[in-house]
Amino acid sequence: MKNLFASICFLFVCTSPAFSQGKTDLKVFISVDMEGITGVVNWEDVNRDGKDYEYFREIMTKEANAAIEGALAAGATEILVRDSHSTARNLLPEMLNRNAKLLRDWSGGFKSMMEGIDKTFDAVIFIGYHAKAGTPNAILEHTMSSTNITDVSINGISLPEAGINALIAGYYNVPVVFIAGELAVCQQAKKLIGEIETVAVKEGIGNAALNLHPEVAREKIAEGVKKALLNLRKYKPYKLKPPYKLVLKLKNEELVHEKSFYPGAKRTGDWELTYENRDLMEVMKAFNRMH
């Protein structure tokens, strides 16, 4: 009986995702935005002054919880949730699963939606994400700023927020393994990253959206996160080769002129700024200060 018990314990440990990577724990980073949450279709839904904002921050918190539950089911031992929308004070702390730590508000640092990430994490998950600025049939599409930016590209690749944030994770050799949001951003993430688990909670139709029921969306998120984390070897960190060339297209003359004074920035078009560096983090610092 003693030998049988030992064999069962050995089998459990050896088949866990953490053991399969030579680790004794599984550390997960979850970045949660709001525009890609189930049911959200209008800027009022995600604005603190909006009539339905309180409702949708509950939905946002529940979708974050679904991701946490999926991570726990896959064996996660440490989970950091980064509130990544607007004020970074949207998720409801008391409602959030007690097994996760919550990072709220902005510190002034340049990692923004990825603040808290480092090389100790094993996987990154995106919840409530949306498509890049100018994407057709997308809901509340924008790139970092809904008022200032028309496009962000690095090394000639136009990036949604998911791509920018995946690069930051990739800098630390951490793969993005899962994304939930509208269909358009799921498609963009697959095109950029390649192997990634996705859940489209809604599909844009012009300015409208066809949405899953919130409970169905949460079930799919939990299942998708668990599936991704149980198959970590499939996923690779998203990286581009240095040097890195950032091209930022803004929306007005005053802003372009002002940001052209950032050290190393050059005006390369009517409303276009370019910045180059071999260090990706210097590029991210420049991007953070130039929009």
Name residue 238's amino acid.
Y
Residues 197, 222: contact at Cβ < 8 Å?
Answer: no
The distance from CA 90 to its chain's CA centroid, rounded to whole angstroms, is 15
Give the pLDDT confidence score for residue 14 in this predicted structure: 46
3-state secondary structure 72-105: HHCCCCEEEEEECCCCCCCCCCCCCCCCCEEECC
pLDDT truncated to tens, each residue of the chain (291 aa)? 445 444 444 444 444 444 444 456 999 999 999 999 999 999 999 999 999 999 999 999 999 999 999 999 999 999 999 999 999 999 999 999 999 999 999 999 999 999 999 999 999 999 999 999 999 999 999 999 888 999 999 999 999 999 999 999 999 999 999 999 999 999 999 999 999 999 999 999 999 999 999 999 999 999 999 999 999 999 999 999 999 999 999 999 999 999 999 999 999 999 999 999 999 999 999 999 999
Domain definitions of the chain by residue range: 24-144+161-238, 241-291
Core vs surface per residue 105-117: b (16+ CB within 10 A) or e:
eeeeebbbbbbbb
**Active-site residue, from 85, 142, 213, 257:** 142
Instruction: Return the CATH number of the domain spanning residue range 24-144+161-238.
Output: 3.40.50.10780
291 flagged as catalytic = no
Looking at residue 24, its pLDDT comes to: 67
Q: What is the pTM of this model?
A: 0.92
Closest CA to 64 of 46, 40, 45, 82: 82
Sign of CA dihedral 163, 169, 170, 171: positive
